[in-house]
Structure 1
Amino acid sequence: MHNDVERCVRAVQSKDARFDGWFFTAVLTTRIYCRASCPVVPPKPENMRFYPTAAAAQQAGFRACKRCRPDASPGSPQWNERADVVARAMRLIADGVVDRDGVPGLSARLGYSTRQLERLLSAELGAGPLALARAQRAQSARILIETSSLSMSDVALAAGFSSIRAFNDTVRTVFALSPTELRKRAKRCAPSSGTLSLRLPFRAPLCPDNLFGHLAATAVPGVEEWRDGAYRRTMRLPHGHGIVALRPFPDHIACQLTLTDLRDLSNAISRCRWMLDLDADPTAVDTELAKDPGLEPLVAKAPGRRVPRTVDGAEFAVRAVLGQQVSTAAARTHAGRLVLAHGEPIQDPAGGLTHLFPTPEALASLDPESLALPRSRRATLTNLVSELAANEIDLGVGSDWERTRAQLAALPGFGPWTVETIAMRALGDPDAFIPHDLGVRVAAEGLGLPSTPAALTAHASAWRPWRAYAVQYLWATGDHPINLLPQ
């Protein structure tokens, strides 16, 4: 979008928050870059320059606006909508792959040479993978500086900087303030206990009912819970584990993170945003779906529905198999038993969480006879776990959606419902569609839409590429607990 100068100028002049994160506006006279909705008086159009990422604006010599904080705007929705290599790279960078494995590791995950990847990202985004990761580290550093009382050396280490000097230089370059000055400007600091409180922004509107209702209704005992108006869960992270509490508010999601290692901050935030689908563009989705007379009343009634995802693709795939042809309650029971037998125990002084969901490696050694499942489903589960433990199937944020679909479909016991459910909630494909789902078919029939899988699929071609969101609207017609925000 940043190449459409006229459209970008109109968005800036109208302070349209819908375009925050889509592009960044740099001002030649002040050498500052802003989000589209910056509250200051818009500059003259001839003094505006537009960049696709904060990293590109920083590389061009602009610093972040202290008023609108563009580095904290929602991410561009296109990185979660697209399946090409640039979008996959952006999802992996947000997940911390560059910080952990370097650019060679990122390139290897994508099947490209380092030079090819540098060229692709620079051509489209105006910055290479190192610059993009550096911009993310700067945002992590800012969060830690402003919300914790950690020493600056600990902040630098936790944010992923290789040295104090690199940390100081980056913070000064990006924010035009020293780390100490940033802290002085902050309203408060929390104890340095590893617990952080922050706000996760999103593009309005956001309908929290099905989003949090689904997560709460399907919560695995010991791993997830709804407590005091917040969805809480454990997370397995690269350097340790964490517990997150997420509470919806009209203009943000309140996020409280308790981490065993603060180096996981950026990764934890990225996974929470991914799980809640916070970088979606609800206006684009709802505008397209509302063109269908059957869906239009549903969209008008509760706009901004998101697709509830997961923080761990392998975990969700296991849960999808456990949920085949059984009720939500039965699926939770099966998963809870698996967690008690094979999950890693953790401490949760603030609630009732007890375990991390078991890894595929831990499940690879389980005795199938110990599972209270039909024999065919035991085989389906053990085959899946074996493939995941051997890293034969990639269910991460940077996976190739169609390749992963084909691999899953080749496993015994994996039909279209299971494959598309995983594609929707683990892979994050916005066009995943489950016409065989009973709830979808009943809703379609009630709305006067075709209800057989083949006919509904043909009708739903007009909903592309947002069929996963259409499913959320169809499910919302029922009285299942997944549609209700818990009290």
Structure 2
Amino acid sequence: MHEDVERCVRAVQSKDARFDGWFFTGVVTTGIYCRPSCPVVPPKPENMRFYPSAAAAQQAGFRACKRCRPDTSPGSPEWNHRADAVARAMRLIADGVVDREGVPGLASRLGYSTRQIERQLSAELGAGPLALARAQRAQTARLLIETTPIPMGDVAFAAGFASIRAFNETVREVFALTPTQLRDRVARGHPAAASGTLSLRLPFRAPLCPDNLYGHLAATAVPGVEEWRDGAYRRTMRLPHGPGVATLRPHPDHVACSLALADLRDLTIAISRCRWMLDLDADPVAVDDLLRGDPVMAPLVDKAPGRRVPRTADGPEFAVRAVLGQQVSTAAARTHAARLVTAYGEPVADPAGGLTHLFPSPEALADLDPETLAFPKSRRRTLAALVEALAAGDVDLGVGADWEEARARLAGLPGFGPWTIESIAMRALGDPDAFIPGDLGVRAAARALDLPATPAALTRRAAAWRPWRAYAVQYLWATGDHAINLLPTG
């Protein structure tokens, strides 16, 4: 979008928050870059320069605006609905792969050479993987500086910097302030969090309908791993440096997020996974506008616009849960999952609630004896095959996975039909066009709306909803009275 100068200028002049994260505006007369909705008086069009990423603006010599804090805007929805190498790379960078494995590790995961990845990212985003990861580290550093009392040296390494010097130089270049000055600017009366615990606001593009999003997560919550408590969805997360607990509470203009982390180096990754799980980087206007073009879907969209696709913090976890949920009720699936958690999950401490375990990893489940499971032999075989494939790395369900390759690998396992595969594609892989026409809830909605009821006919009818069929499923599900459609109380 940054190449459409006229459209970008209009967005800046109207302070349109819908475009925050789509592009960034560099102002040549001040040397700063802003989000489109920056509250200051818009510069003259001839003084605007547009960039596809914060990293590109920083590489061009611009520093972040202190008013609109462009580095904290919602992420670009481009990286959620695309399946090409650049989009996969951006999802992996957000998940901290460059900080942990370097550019060679990123390239290896994508199946390209480092030169190819650097060339593709630079061509589309105006910055290579190192610059993009550096911009992300700067954002994490500012969050730690402003919201925790931990020493600056600890902030530097928690944010992913290799040295104190690199930390100091980056903060000064990006924010035109030293780390100490950034901390001193925090308003009095806003106490910093204790080390290891952080409270922050997760922005999103309006509108956002919380009903199905939190309703689904709460209704399918696995005891010990997830819970709805005091108006918030809470869950444990397996992170690279230790366990974490996320508490996510909906508000009209943001999601309040509290993170209790064993290691603050996992902050960036935890934030990224929370945003991914709640689908906060979606562009609801684009989705709803397309679905409104269908006379059948229009009333459903108008009734509760902004529905998101409830995702998962861990792809392999959801795949295991999808198998456990084959042809059984939501309550039965939760019971099966809870038994696995108790037997194979890693215990965690949660003084603030009732969370007790991490969901067991594929490696932990490799020791599972299928004969101990209280469901049919065919499903035991399916679960064993899935766990083996995940543990061996034969199936990749991470944020940077190739969606079509993952589908093909799953289809090669026994017991994996269209419902299971597309459910995993929707909620674990994040494919916005995943579609499950054979789902009981979708078929019931189709009958009620006089849509074709057979999977093949409904798939043909749903071609008009592409590339947002996963969102169409959320609107179809909402026609029923299942608990997944209701925002929990209490």
Whether these two folds match at TM > 0.5 is yes
Superposition TM-score, scaled by structure 1 size: 1.00
Which residue matches 1:376? 378
Whole-angstrom CA distance in 2 between matches of 1:98 and 1:128? 11
Spell out the pairing of 1:183-262 with structure 2 (5 A cutoff).
Answer: 183-187=183-187, 188-262=190-264
Pick aligned residue for 1:364 from 348, 363, 366? 366
Residue 452 of structure 1: how far off its partner (Å): 1.0
Whole-angstrom CA distance in 2 between matches of 1:128 and 1:411? 37
Which residue matches 2:417? 415
Whole-angstrom CA distance in 2 between matches of 1:186 and 1:371? 54
Residue 192 of structure 1: how far off its partner (Å): 3.1
Whole-angstrom CA distance in 2 between matches of 1:315 and 1:190? 34
Residue 344 of structure 1: how far off its partner (Å): 0.5
- Give the conservation status (yes or no) of the 8 Å contact 1:78–1:87: yes
Residue 241 of structure 1: how far off its partner (Å): 0.6
Whole-angstrom CA distance in 1 between matches of 2:432 and 2:484? 19
Whole-angstrom CA distance in 2 between matches of 1:392 and 1:252? 38
Whole-angstrom CA distance in 1 between matches of 2:227 and 2:195? 23
Which residue matches 1:459? 461
Residue 448 of structure 1: how far off its partner (Å): 1.6
Q: Does 1:93 align with 2:93?
A: yes
- Give the conservation status (yes or no) of the 8 Å contact 2:431–2:470: yes
* Cα offsets for 1:323-368 (capped at 9, x unmatched): 0000000000000000000000111100000000000000011111
Whole-angstrom CA distance in 2 between matches of 1:189 and 1:154? 19
SS at match of 2:293: coil
Whole-angstrom CA distance in 2 between matches of 1:435 and 1:119? 39
Whole-angstrom CA distance in 1 between matches of 2:445 and 2:461? 14
- Give the conservation status (yes or no) of the 8 Å contact 1:23–1:35: yes
Residue 185 of structure 1: how far off its partner (Å): 1.2
> Taking every aligned residue pair, what percent have the same amino acid on both sides?
81
Spell out the pairing of 1:27-38 with structure 2 (5 A cutoff).
Answer: 27-38=27-38
Give 1:62's aligned amino acid. Answer: F
- Give the conservation status (yes or no) of the 8 Å contact 1:85–1:110: yes
Whole-angstrom CA distance in 2 between matches of 1:117 and 1:381? 35
* Cα offsets for 1:240-261 (capped at 9, x unmatched): 0100000000000000000000
Residue 191 of structure 1: how far off its partner (Å): 3.6
Give 1:102's aligned amino acid. Answer: G
Residue 97 of structure 1: how far off its partner (Å): 0.1
Give 2:404's aligned amino acid. Answer: E
CA RMSD of aligned residues (A): 0.6
Whole-angstrom CA distance in 2 between matches of 1:12 and 1:447? 41
Which residue matches 2:11? 11
Moved more, 28-37 or 445-454: 445-454
Q: Does 1:160 align with 2:160?
A: yes
Residue 189 of structure 1: how far off its partner (Å): 3.7
Whole-angstrom CA distance in 1 between matches of 2:363 and 2:15? 50
SS at match of 2:127: coil
Q: Does 1:295 align with 2:300?
A: no
Give 1:60's aligned amino acid. Answer: A
Whole-angstrom CA distance in 2 between matches of 1:79 and 1:478? 31
Whole-angstrom CA distance in 2 between matches of 1:191 and 1:320? 37
Whole-angstrom CA distance in 2 between matches of 1:192 and 1:165? 25
- Give the conservation status (yes or no) of the 8 Å contact 1:38–1:67: yes
- Give the conservation status (yes or no) of the 8 Å contact 1:21–1:74: yes
Whole-angstrom CA distance in 2 between matches of 1:474 and 1:186? 45
Residue 186 of structure 1: how far off its partner (Å): 1.3
SS at match of 1:384: helix
* Cα offsets for 1:36-86 (capped at 9, x unmatched): 100100000000000000000000000000000000000000001100000
Whole-angstrom CA distance in 1 between matches of 2:217 and 2:183? 35
Residue 395 of structure 1: how far off its partner (Å): 0.1
Whole-angstrom CA distance in 2 between matches of 1:454 and 1:169? 58
Residue 450 of structure 1: how far off its partner (Å): 1.2
Give 2:41's aligned amino acid. Answer: V
Whole-angstrom CA distance in 2 between matches of 1:64 and 1:256? 25
- Give the conservation status (yes or no) of the 8 Å contact 1:146–1:189: no
* Cα offsets for 1:441-478 (capped at 9, x unmatched): 11011112111111100000010000000000000000
* Cα offsets for 1:80-118 (capped at 9, x unmatched): 110000000000000000000000000000011011111
- Give the conservation status (yes or no) of the 8 Å contact 1:242–1:260: yes
Whole-angstrom CA distance in 1 between matches of 2:186 and 2:282? 29
Whole-angstrom CA distance in 2 between matches of 1:484 and 1:22? 31
- Give the conservation status (yes or no) of the 8 Å contact 2:193–2:199: no
SS at match of 2:200: strand
* Cα offsets for 1:135-187 (capped at 9, x unmatched): 00000001101110011001001000011110011011001111111111112
Whole-angstrom CA distance in 1 between matches of 2:311 and 2:321? 13
Any unmatched runs of 5+ in structure 1?
A: none
- Give the conservation status (yes or no) of the 8 Å contact 1:360–1:388: yes
Q: Does 1:59 align with 2:69?
A: no
* Cα offsets for 1:213-255 (capped at 9, x unmatched): 0000000000000000000000000000100000000000000
- Give the conservation status (yes or no) of the 8 Å contact 1:443–1:475: yes
* Cα offsets for 1:256-309 (capped at 9, x unmatched): 000000000000000000000000000000000011111100100100000000
SS at match of 1:33: strand
Q: Does 1:132 align with 2:135?
A: no
Any unmatched runs of 5+ in structure 2?
A: none
Moved over 6 A (4+): none
SS at match of 1:257: strand
Superposition TM-score, scaled by structure 2 size: 0.99
Give 1:278's aligned amino acid. Answer: L
